Amino acid sequence: MAWTWRFERADGTETEPAVRPEEFPTQGDAESWLGETWRELLEGGVEQVTLLEDGTEIYGPMSLSAAEGS
């Protein structure tokens, strides 16, 4: 199983992230990576993300700008 993120603008169009991730072996690894890099992603133009497991959407889109208030 491979866990990946899809990076999107607010309108749902895909965009290239400022920080390139790899595939992650677990959901927790993918979520930890996002927790560490969401600010850089947001500054680079990514506004929302969707988590995928082997190409199947698990959840999302999840706004990165909502995390700013946290």
Number of domains in the chain: 1
Spell 32-51 as b/e; 16+ CB within 10 A means b: ebbeebbeebbeeebbbbbb
Q: What is the mean pLDDT of residues 30-37?
A: 96
Give the structural domain span for 47.
3-69
pTM: 0.88
Q: What is the pLDDT of residue 29?
A: 97
pLDDT at residue 22 is higher than 90: no
Report the chain's mean pLDDT, rounded to a whole number.
92
pLDDT tens across 7-17, in order? 999 999 999 99
Asked if 24 contacts 33 with a C-beta cutoff of 8 angstroms, the reply is yes
